[in-house]
Structure 1
Amino acid sequence: MKNIAVIGAGTMGNGIAHTFAQCNFNVHLIDISNESLEKGIATIAKNLDRMVAKDKISETDKKATLKNISTFTSLKEGVKNVDLVVEAATENVNLKLSIFKELDENCDEQTILATNTSSISITQIGAATKRPDKVIGMHFMNPVPVMKLVEIISGYSTSNMVLETITNLSKKIHKIPVAVNDYPGFVANRILMPMINESIETLYNNVAGVEEIDTVMKLGMAHPMGPLQLADFIGLDVCLSILNVLYDGFKNPKYAPCPLLVNMVTAGKLGVKSGEGFYDYSSSKKAEKVAEMFIK
């Protein structure tokens, strides 16, 4: 397995492309617009520069990584002759089903189709294709180049051979794969999102302020980042989407999104990417500081 296609040049997509390219895979980064692709490549270059500055990699490594990435606005062209596709589009079930139908039609028969979904059923996504045995979840953590964990999720029809292949591949890109079962939110977000939601409820109920809540969790629970700041970093719209998947999947009120979260997303206050969430990121230095926390 040498040629990898990544669908989506956003935060997760460019991080996945960066990781594979740095490990000397040929990467096809695919998005619908050249502007998105240029922004994605610029982010990769900036993150590589940070790694060079911290003596994690050399300037030669940086150039080789960027050289390993080709960009495409045509999905059909971008997935030609690839061994694996990793979809990293918006956490929207209808969008993902549409993408996987298109991938199934345009990819070689032996190509494995992976999704970076953080909550949506792999079985459902696989059922949208004629190759459900070759559909699997690869849930990377953000920021991808730094975080070691990859949740590996098999759908009902995913073959053991595909599971073994993706597990071994994850190790080759210096990640630690953990196999989990196909239930809403898997492990990471089934546990994390209720905590974030309860933190928002705590703010909503005026028990404490934003910084106070985050400080209690950082100093009292040894979390590197408070849950509200983490929600900003993930994206409040993403948090809302995941909570909706959990709520729809389990029909349990404990997963119902807090009204404050719903209102903030409706108002366009999405966190770091919009410039404002629970914290103000209007200053580029503040946004940069959040990113720097992970480049250690």
Structure 2
Amino acid sequence: MRYKGKVYRPPSEAYSLIVQVTYGCSHNKCAFCDMYDDKHFAMRPMDEIREDFELARRVYRRVERVFLADGDALMRKTADLVEILGLVYGLFPECERVTCYASPTSLQIKSEDDLRLLRSKGLQMVYMGLESGCDAVLEKMQKGHTAADIVAAGQKARRCGLALSVTAISGLGSVEHWREHAVDTARAVSEMKPDYLGLLTLMVEPGTPLEKWVREGSFTLLSPLEVLKETELFLQHVDSEGTVFRANHASNYLTLKGTLNGDRDTLLGQIAAALEGRRDLKPEFLRAL
């Protein structure tokens, strides 16, 4: 397989065949992110995509899951994606799932007919970054969209039959906006009701605008216990029945897993135990992205 630059995938795609169909991220301006700083966003040539899938068929006995990389594969033309999906299921009839990252922009650009067509051709789920439901935080972090924009994109994906996995980032509001970040993110998630919600915890990457703000003192990071208080407030306000909730990323201080809203009390109890010192938190040196 041939890969250009750094390649990322969601934790749940750890055992998936990963093939780049685009390079980089279509936005690539978020102040906290350095994931695709080594390349410009571009469409990968279709002949290279075809060659990689054909190589994978020769190498792997079974391919049950496929993840289409990089950071916004949905930005490709619908006709291209239909061809790619046909290639996947033609070469790998045993394939059970194809997924990709999507941005609010690519979901806005695609018509509902396009999204329904892609779902009918076998694109089961898209991963989208919400990060925060607070507009002040989104603006500070240069997300490029309001919370309402992101919510509308997520609702559109679900309306068209696509499963939706959303990420949010604990601590992104800093000490200044942590309450608004928690409550407004809960509201945004409640309005989207995604199938999956992954809650990461902010880490400061060298060379990003966020790193400069932290160094200069204009952004104050939350302590581990403050992160837990923020998560507690989020869980107290979210209403997203049936959403699979995970805060088990390498960046999280405390592992939390459950299904909303039914496991809310259990999750809050685990947070309370940690706040009272009855559960250990992950030490800083073990955290990672």
**Shorter-chain TM-score range:** 0.3 to 0.5
Structure with more helix by fraction: 1
- TM-score scaled to structure 1, two decimals? 0.33
